[in-house]
Structure 1
Amino acid sequence: MDEIQRVEYGNGLRVLLEERANTKKAALLIGVRVGSVDEDDRINGGSHFNEHLLFKSNKHRTSRQITEDLEYSGTVINAYTTWKYTAFYAKTPYTELENAVQILYEAATNLDYKRKEFELEREVVLTEIRNYINSPDRYALTDLFIPTLFHNTPLEKKIQGTVDAMSSVEKSELEEFKGDYYSPGNIVIVVCGNFNEKKLLGKVEDTFGSMQKGKTHHRERVDLSNRHTVREESRGDINQMYLSLGYRVPGYSSDDFFKLDLLSSILSEGLSSRLFKELREKRGIGYSVGSFYKAFQDEGMFISHVDGFNPNKLEETQKTIEMVFNNLKEKKIGRREFEGTKKLMLSKYDDQLERITESAMLLLESEFCDIPFDYREKDRYIKAVSEQDLMDVADRYLGDDYTMTLLKPEDG
């Protein structure tokens, strides 16, 4: 396995390079340590809005020139925002990599939005927020469950923001917010694929490496204690129920990380998983049934959900989930199911590693979350988890102190 090269600059900028000489492409990923956890109510959604504005006009190029200069060279661009960071990237022919660095640098350092573009993009952002509201499965998770699970913590903030905040936020507020966080000490550049190291680092030094140091921002730790909570919300525009049930759990820094990761797969990885079989196959409950574990550096969330089921089956649904959880605590999992689930989850992870853009994303996550292991060696750690480990971690975290939210019809 090739070593990942790390370069640090005096202004705090970090660059991570993973060379894959057998590909014609390079994935260039710019990560900025700013997300919804850094926002107050007035600007909730600001990180996401700034992400939308990255490829708009700046003093170097118009919006049209930016997209054409990248796309007409064979480069695919995109961006995303999370609770903890924002990222934008270019998957480009390796011969165009230095040009992509230049254009993404111009985007990152633009602090003067054009008024017309700003207002037009505000409407796009508001449409996206309303689309979340109009999609019951999304709304049940992002707008109802997660803010309830992490009530009174920074993680309750919605990544996409709120209609109130994004309708009223001023252009100058977003420009100032971006200027506070888009500084080299908050930026990590990841390149995965084929590249000329000397030319690449020369271009990085001339651009991002020339930025002035900025502010350091403190983040508070989140208390991981759980308290049994049930929250219900009724809507007149739906006729099915959406249930989410989960816990605050440790993140990447915990010795239980890989055990929780495997536990989530046992519950919902594929058509052979326990929740799918017990709810959909045996009882015909739910259109979408699943479980996932989202980890951050020190904290995380472990969530099971059932989307789109008959409200009359609520009690049966809840009892079935609790039964599945209890079985994992009390009965050692069979060898075939145990090893088969490991193979399935690792096979899917291998697919991610084979794609340079997804590998770059995994490496960025590893850096921002200070992950204490090589993300490429997940198979070694998963294979080391035993059946008893799985029982122990289920007993430790899948208790009666869960948070549950119900999105239901008004007459349900």
Structure 2
Amino acid sequence: MILLEKKCLSNGIELYIHHLENIRSATIAFNVGVGSVYEPDEISGISHFIEHLSFRGTKNYTMKELKRVVEEVGGLLNAWTDKENTVYYAKVPSSTLFDAFNALKEVVFYPIFKTEDLKLERNIIFQEYLSNKEDPMSNLFELMYTKGLNGPHAKPVIGREETIKSINLKDIKIFHEEYYVPYNVKVIIVGYIEDEVLEKVVDELEKIDGNSMKTLKHRSIVNTGLIEGKVMENTKQVHFLYVTEGFSLEQEDRYPAIVLNTILSSGMSSYFFEEIREKEGLVYDIFSTNLSQKDWGIFNIYAAVSIENVERFQNQMINVVRKFELSDELFNYGLRRIIGKLELSTESTSTVTNLIIEYLSNDIKPELPEEIIEKIKNVERSDVERVFKKLFSRKWSLFYVSPEEIKNITFKGEFI
């Protein structure tokens, strides 16, 4: 089995390398251990601000040069901010790997923050904020995080309107200096990597100085038994999100939970899709997700329905959960589908990189797709049945976004 190589550098940076010999591309990511969880309320959204501003220019690159070094060779350049991490990311032909690495290294450690750039990005981020406010899905998940969680993960990644308008250059520089340090950064490279290129990468990373600060992972509590809604007149459907406590990255139950989630909502042959869409015609899409953190998780079920079908949909959701029986056909579908999807993921450097980031963002030793497949193969039908019973015997919350007030909410926080 191809393993993940780890190098701990003298300055605290952790470098993870996954060699894939039969391809000619590589993905590189800098995972910085900072996000909205670590932000004081008065500068909420500053991690996202820094992610934007860092591409405006660095010590050795202009903004245009940073983009061109990756994009002119057909590569993909991206970044995102989450609750506990910020990721800077590029996928390029292996022959240009070092150039892409060098550009990302500059973006992460050596950005130049200017007043005029802050003004421009403030306007851009505010437009992004307004777009989110008009989007039903964004509002639904914001409702889940703010009402459904008790803890630091309730903080919005993008910040609040007042903080977007008030964060200043001094705030940016102080926050970057505190959190963008070697001990708080993990670098991941997946793909075809020549030995001499890897040596150059290590040499460059070793040159980076900084303090030994490293963020610790936080936990939030999932609030259950809540019914919370929001009216958005511009939406044409009612967007529902059922939420309960999920399975963490440290729990062995998460492997049968992965199989169960596949059975319930992955693909057109999945249980919810057939029962709610194909047989009843109540939805266009329905899916479930287990959002796993280090030692806690959130399990949710999403669907959107027309206003006139709200009561029928709620009743049908309870009915299909209560009548669920794990047949051999369903169990084999879930098992074979998730194994197949994991096997296909091994051919994508970006997918494998994102998987590694999920673990490293939670300070957990990463599992590669091949390792997860071996764990999945050991899942028994009885394991999935046990996890289903555990999950749906719990208290749930229901969040919704609707074009008008809903008076016929029949869900009482329990499926079974």
> Is TM (by shorter chain) over 0.5?
yes
Q: Matched residue of 2:57: which SS?
A: coil
- 1:387 maps to a residue whose letter is R
Q: Matched residue of 1:159: which SS?
A: coil
Distance (Å, rounded) in 1 between the aligned partners of 2:251 and 2:67 = 42
**1:382 corresponds to which residue?**
376
Q: Are the aligned partners of 1:251 and 1:299 in contact in 2 as well (CA < 8 Å)? A: yes
Deviations 1:187-227 (A, max 9, x none): 11111111223432333333454322332334433345x53
Residue 277 (structure 1) aligned to one of 260, 274, 288: 274
**TM-score, normalised on structure 1?**
0.91
Distance (Å, rounded) in 2 between the aligned partners of 1:219 and 1:297 = 8
Residues 163 and 195 of structure 1: CA distance in aligned 2, closer, same or farther (over 3 Å) = same
Residues 373 and 100 of structure 1: CA distance in aligned 2, closer, same or farther (over 3 Å) = closer
**2:54 corresponds to which residue?**
54
**1:134 corresponds to which residue?**
134
Residue 392 (structure 1) aligned to one of 368, 382, 386: 386
Q: Are the aligned partners of 2:352 and 2:368 in contact in 1 as well (CA < 8 Å)? A: no
Q: Matched residue of 2:249: which SS?
A: coil
**2:200 corresponds to which residue?**
202
Distance (Å, rounded) in 2 between the aligned partners of 1:53 and 1:349 = 35
Q: Are the aligned partners of 1:227 and 1:403 in contact in 2 as well (CA < 8 Å)? A: yes
Deviation at 1:291, TM superposition (A): 0.8
Q: Are the aligned partners of 2:11 and 2:206 in contact in 1 as well (CA < 8 Å)? A: no
**2:242 corresponds to which residue?**
245
Distance (Å, rounded) in 2 between the aligned partners of 1:388 and 1:356 = 34
**1:230 corresponds to which residue?**
227
Identity in percent: 24
**1:336 corresponds to which residue?**
329
Distance (Å, rounded) in 2 between the aligned partners of 1:406 and 1:66 = 41
Q: Are the aligned partners of 1:111 and 1:178 in contact in 2 as well (CA < 8 Å)? A: no
Deviation at 1:400, TM superposition (A): 5.1
Q: Are the aligned partners of 1:32 and 1:86 in contact in 2 as well (CA < 8 Å)? A: yes
Q: Matched residue of 1:283: which SS?
A: coil
- 1:255 maps to a residue whose letter is E
- 1:393 maps to a residue whose letter is V
Distance (Å, rounded) in 2 between the aligned partners of 1:288 and 1:399 = 24
Residues 208 and 114 of structure 1: CA distance in aligned 2, closer, same or farther (over 3 Å) = farther
Give the gaps of 5 or more residues in structure 1.
none
Distance (Å, rounded) in 1 between the aligned partners of 2:72 and 2:45 = 31
Q: Which runs of 4+ in 1 moved over 6 A?
A: none
Q: Are the aligned partners of 2:247 and 2:292 in contact in 1 as well (CA < 8 Å)? A: yes
Q: Matched residue of 1:250: which SS?
A: coil
Q: Are the aligned partners of 1:245 and 1:404 in contact in 2 as well (CA < 8 Å)? A: yes
Q: Matched residue of 1:291: which SS?
A: strand
Distance (Å, rounded) in 2 between the aligned partners of 1:73 and 1:278 = 46
Distance (Å, rounded) in 2 between the aligned partners of 1:325 and 1:52 = 43
**2:350 corresponds to which residue?**
357
Distance (Å, rounded) in 1 between the aligned partners of 2:25 and 2:126 = 35
Q: Matched residue of 2:211: which SS?
A: coil
**2:165 corresponds to which residue?**
167
Q: Matched residue of 1:54: which SS?
A: helix
Distance (Å, rounded) in 2 between the aligned partners of 1:149 and 1:87 = 26
**1:106 corresponds to which residue?**
106
- 2:162 maps to a residue whose letter is D
**1:14 corresponds to which residue?**
14
Q: Are the aligned partners of 1:102 and 1:207 in contact in 2 as well (CA < 8 Å)? A: no
